[in-house]
Structure 1
Amino acid sequence: MNKGRLEAFSDGVIAILITIMVLELKVPHQDTLDALRPLFPVILSYILSFIYLAIYWNNHHHLFQVVDRVNGSILWANLHLLFWLSLIPFVTAWTGENHFSALPVACYGVVMLCAAIAYLILTITLIAHHGKDSMLAIAIGRDFKGKISLAIYATAILLAFINSFAAFSLYVVVAIIWLIPDRRIERAIDKSK
């Protein structure tokens, strides 16, 4: 099965999610900087979520750059990932509107953890379909970044009930880890040429 439709559909869903998030930002009625102060938590949660969606889009693109075909299992694994990503606008708004209170911050982490697990499942499904000696399998390797991210998310979820700002800071740490360009797949492509 051709991978093009899966990629196009995923791109469209992520673009819609970003659009939904930006439409949730409410414009203040005053033209002063003080009018923006109450929006700071909303804007901060939006920025982090935008970065996360950008990271997922970027990494999804890289994954499918080194695979040739998809099957039904891959389609379902991809939809599983998109399901968790589709909840990001909700937890983003809830977290920002409630000024980083414990339960919304913990739920934000649950969605991020589940999205990360879904991405891992998608990767495993792709590798199973293309083989353990495939370019993707070689490029992913032990996936240290993925595993450490899962551990940080789990820690942050629990920490949210003690210190929600510290928990949210851990979500920022994961985003920073993934913002550092992941060149594993690009290196694998370069080696195959």
Structure 2
Amino acid sequence: MTKSRLEAFSDGVLAIIITIMVLELKVPEGYTFASLKPLFPKIVSYVVSFVYVGLYWNNHHHLFQIVQKVNGKVLWGNLHLLFWLSLMPLTTNWIGESHFERDPIIAYGVVLIMCSVAYNIVEYFAVQTEGEESALKRAVKSKTKENISTALYFLGIGISFINPYVSLLMYGTVAIMWLIPDRRIETLMKDQ
């Protein structure tokens, strides 16, 4: 089975997710920059979520550059990832509407954790499909960044009971960690 339909479908879903998020931003009531102030929480949550969706799109693209074939497990794993990513507009809007209240930030953290888990499942199934001796297996054998990210998500959820703003900072830190595309795959692509 080829990977082109999976990539095209995923790109379309991610584009729709971003579109839904931006449509939640309403035009301010006034015509000065001061009228943007009430929208600040929504703008901040949109920017963070836009970056996250972009990161998943970028890393998904890199992953499937090296994947040669897909099977049903990869397709279902990918659909699982898209499910969790599709919840980003909901939690993003909830954070913005609530002005950074604890429960929406916890829900956002849960979605981030589940997106991470789902991405790792896609990667795992792709390695199974490609084989244990594949270039993909060599490229993704280290999981340091993934483990740090997951720990920060759990810590962020826990800290949200004390200070939701610190939780957002932790979620933002994970995003910053992933701004550079997965070098493991890029390095392998250069060597081929």
Normalised-by-shorter TM-score class: over 0.9
Give the 5 Å matches for 1:5-24: 5-24=5-24
Deviation at residue 190 of structure 1 after TM alignment: 1.5
Please tell me whether residue 162 in structure 1 is matched to residue 162 in structure 2.
yes
Whether the 8 Å CA contact 1:135–1:189 is kept in 2: the answer is: no
Residues 1:179 and 2:186 are matched in the alignment: no
Report the CA distance between 1:131 and its aligned residue: 1.3
> 2:147 aligns to what?
147
Long gaps (5+) in structure 1? none
For 1:124 and 1:67, the matched residues in 2 are separated by 12
Deviations 1:45-78 (A, max 9, x none): 0000000000000000000000111000000000
Q: TM-score, normalised by structure 1?
A: 0.98
* Equivalent residue runs for 1:71-90 within 5 Å: 71-90=71-90
In 1: Cα distance, 2:182 partner to 2:2 partner:
25
Alpha-carbon deviation of 1:158?
1.2
Deviation at 1:143, TM superposition (A): 1.8
- Which is worse superposed, 82-91 or 142-151? 142-151
Contact 1:25/1:42 (<8 A) preserved: yes
**Unaligned ranges ≥5, structure 2:** none
CA offset at residue 182 of structure 1? Answer: 2.5
What is the TM-score normalised by the length of structure 2? Answer: 0.98
CA distance in 2, matches of 1:159, 1:184: 31
Measured in 2, the distance between the counterparts of 1:128 and 1:180 equals 26
CA RMSD of aligned residues (A): 0.8
- Distance in 2 between residues matched to 1:181 and 1:127, nearest whole Å: 19
In structure 1, the residue matched to 2:102 is 102
For the pair 1:129 / 2:129, whether they are aligned, the reply is yes
Which position in structure 2 is the counterpart of 1:65?
A: 65
Aligned residues: 192
Q: 1:23 & 1:189 partners in 2: Cα distance?
A: 37
Give identity over the alignment, percent: 54
Instruction: Name the counterpart of 2:44.
Output: 44
| Letter aligned with residue 178 of structure 1 | W
User: Runs (4+) of structure 1 moved beyond 2 Å?
Assistant: none
Question: Residue 179 of structure 1 aligns to a residue in which SS?
Answer: coil
CA drift at 1:24: 0.3
Instruction: Specify the code of the residue in structure 2 equivalent to 1:108.
Output: Y
Alpha-carbon separation, structure 2, partners of 1:156 and 1:29: 34
Q: Which letter maps to 2:142?
A: R
Give the counterpart letter for 1:187 in structure 2: T
